[in-house]
Structure 1
């Protein structure tokens, strides 16, 4: 239980570290630098902890490619760019939709999966939660704040799609190895994207103590150590219970964001979060019932 709470606290506060670091580092470059460090650390761990430290077959490399493009590069690029205009808690709430979206993509892309009427209602309820968080006005659907929430939603969708596509690939690569190479590949992709964007060079970085602290926290604590805790909990708890980290993390994001950055969480964000949690409960009702029985 203590490790579960620690992981939720680390991943929740990571949204605050992103917000703090964005004041000094361009967003896509910031995400790339994070995984330069985290990828090297994770690869070192994989080389020691598992027998197969690198991909060998075509299927394993395809799995890494999916992880690099969707789980690391697309997810973090969209998240970091979007979080420039939303609070840490709002970003964490929208990202918490990812387990619901994963189920939706699985029903579409995995032949042995199907979505019941109740599951469809749960999926729709999750989308409603995001709309409540964004609260778009009819005449301002493309306002900066609404677009920012949309980018964070795109991050959650990228992660969910990547998770399902990884499952479709017939490969037995250890998860530590897959994560390590995906981090390295994802960082390379984000560096390439950053190079093409204006205002995204190292010359635009303000190397303050706060910037270095945010980068170090995200790279070492939230990424390297966070994923090690995740692997440990996944073995103990299983996929359903570990998904609950996504629903505890926003509370820590709200508390830490308020304490360190003076962010205020509003009623709409809370209502949207409750809708997303309700959607998750409906989509995963059978699995949750089996865990509780």
Structure 2
């Protein structure tokens, strides 16, 4: 049962984060990036802390590993990851950013080789990562003319992917006594405070009235409830039970979800190349998860 539960959580994570790109794009028309990101985590943190207080036996940090885990979440997986991504996307195209961010599983593998030697991939698994990344390129198909432009934005997006990769591996090295939902919630509070400080330091002006406007309130609500409180709780729960390399493969599914969402909600076209990219991504997944797929097929035939 837990195997199917985790598969459903993985799909939910991909759908929630895939849809968030549309919400972020809408919200950035009215709010500056760091403030927008901070408000997202303000709301998400409140939701998760209340839930953790009601549902978890251990929801307050007590041990050294509890506090270290909260700091890893707040600094690497919330502040650096989102601050760099939100700012970086202002200086590069969405397509190029999606490919650069999809380096996440490859970067995670590199960090895991040094810090989590038991979680490394086989040569076939590494091939699967590269095949999946090629599939992302087919789905996104960035403008070749923009590949060498906007170096600053590209470096910020790569920095975001690197922060997520390193943070997920560092978190795996900790053994917090708290429930993963509580760790996520307190980490969000730390991340939100740091992003508010960065927003003020960068000269962004808080505009509460803009945050209450319908064109901002709706995407902000989606980001806070679905793509933050729900998705991050699923993400950190999966990290408790699975390798960071395996969990961060969700970065390959996100562009697929975004493409389908654009087709359903915005009337964008799904070309034959895009559909071919979907198949290449699935082929990459099959190579990485081949042992689990073979075991599943064996159980079905038994």
With normalisation by structure 1, the TM-score equals: 0.77
| Cα drift, residue 121 of structure 1 | 3.5
Match of 1:20 in 2: 26
Q: Is the 8 A contact 2:135 2:279 kept in 1?
A: yes
| Cα drift, residue 71 of structure 1 | 1.0
Q: Which whole-Å CA distance do the structure 2 matches of 1:48 and 1:148 have between them?
A: 41
2:168 is aligned, of 135, 141, 163, to 163
CA 1:53–1:171: 2 relative to 1, 3 Å: closer
SS of equivalent residue, structure 2 residue 57: coil
Q: Which whole-Å CA distance do the structure 2 matches of 1:231 and 1:47 have between them?
A: 17
| Cα drift, residue 10 of structure 1 | 2.9
2:54 is the counterpart of 1:43: no
Q: Deviations over 1:207-251 (max 9, x none)?
A: 43111111111112222233456678x59x967987675554433
Match of 1:194 in 2: 199
| Cα drift, residue 206 of structure 1 | 3.5
Q: Which whole-Å CA distance do the structure 2 matches of 1:43 and 1:224 have between them?
A: 10
Matched pairs, number: 287
2:118 is aligned, of 112, 119, 134, to 112
CA 1:180–1:151: 2 relative to 1, 3 Å: same
Q: Deviations over 1:105-132 (max 9, x none)?
A: 2122114344543344444555656777
CA 1:152–1:39: 2 relative to 1, 3 Å: same
| Cα drift, residue 254 of structure 1 | 1.7
2:104 is aligned, of 84, 98, 101, to 98
2:240 is the counterpart of 1:212: no
2:15 is the counterpart of 1:9: yes
CA 1:193–1:18: 2 relative to 1, 3 Å: same
SS of equivalent residue, structure 2 residue 118: coil
CA 1:272–1:216: 2 relative to 1, 3 Å: same
Structure 1, unaligned stretches of length 5 or more?
A: none
Q: Which whole-Å CA distance do the structure 1 matches of 2:123 and 2:249 have between them?
A: 23
CA 1:225–1:168: 2 relative to 1, 3 Å: closer
Q: Which whole-Å CA distance do the structure 1 matches of 2:277 and 2:155 have between them?
A: 14
1:62 is aligned, of 58, 68, 71, to 68
Q: Which whole-Å CA distance do the structure 2 matches of 1:277 and 1:262 have between them?
A: 24
Structure 2, unaligned stretches of length 5 or more?
A: none
Q: Which moved more, 1:187-196 or 1:266-275?
A: 266-275
Q: Which moved more, 1:5-14 or 1:42-51?
A: 5-14
Q: What is the root-mean-square deviation of aligned Cα atoms in Å?
A: 3.8
Q: Deviations over 1:60-89 (max 9, x none)?
A: 1111111111111111112222344434x7
Match of 1:86 in 2: 93
Q: Which whole-Å CA distance do the structure 2 matches of 1:77 and 1:216 have between them?
A: 19
Q: Is the 8 A contact 1:86 1:149 kept in 2?
A: no
| Cα drift, residue 167 of structure 1 | 1.0
Q: Deviations over 1:173-212 (max 9, x none)?
A: 31011100111111111112212224x2214973431111
| Cα drift, residue 256 of structure 1 | 2.6
SS of equivalent residue, structure 1 residue 56: coil
With normalisation by structure 2, the TM-score equals: 0.75
Q: Deviations over 1:232-278 (max 9, x none)?
A: 8x59x967987675554433322333454566677877777766655
